[in-house]
């Protein structure tokens, strides 16, 4: 008898214990938490810390794939220099990574 079948079978002719009925639900919730929710929360925290730590001179990548260098930082926006004398205003939420992280990923 498989593990899953063992837990899903209801006892015939008698009422199962409350623990036996709730155990599969608790196991499923724990699996969702550790394999889906927790890693996503960790990634969101890393992105938030990155966006709060942006400073002038950092090389970054935007969500749309534009590489640039930060020339000015405001509360919710940055001024991104994408070429000599070409600057665009970008929301901080549009920044993905530091350029130094990108160059190390390409080397692997």
Q: Does domain 55-107 have CATH number 2.30.30.100?
A: yes
Token pair listed for 29: 């919730």
Among left, alpha and beta (phi > 0; psi -120 to 50; other), residue 57 is: left
Angle (nearest 5°) at CA 44 between 41 and 49: 125
Burial (Cβ within 10 Å: 0-12, 13-18, ≥19) of residue 68? buried
55 pLDDT more than 80:
yes
Predicted local confidence at residue 10, as pLDDT: 56
Predicted local confidence at residue 21, as pLDDT: 82
User: What's the pTM value of the predicted model, to 2 decimals?
Assistant: 0.61
């Amino acid at each position: 008898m498989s593990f899953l079948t063992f837990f899903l079978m209801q006892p015939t002719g008698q009422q199962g214990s409350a623990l036996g009925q709730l155990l599969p639900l608790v196991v499923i919730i724990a699996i969702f938490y550790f394999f889906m929710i927790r890693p996503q929360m960790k990634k969101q925290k890393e992105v938030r810390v990155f966006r709060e730590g942006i400073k002038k001179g950092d090389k970054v990548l935007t969500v749309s794939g534009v590489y640039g260098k930060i020339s000015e930082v405001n509360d919710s926006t940055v001024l991104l220099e994408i070429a000599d004398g070409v600057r665009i205003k970008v929301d901080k939420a549009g920044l993905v990574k530091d350029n130094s992280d990108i160059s190390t990923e390409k080397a692997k």
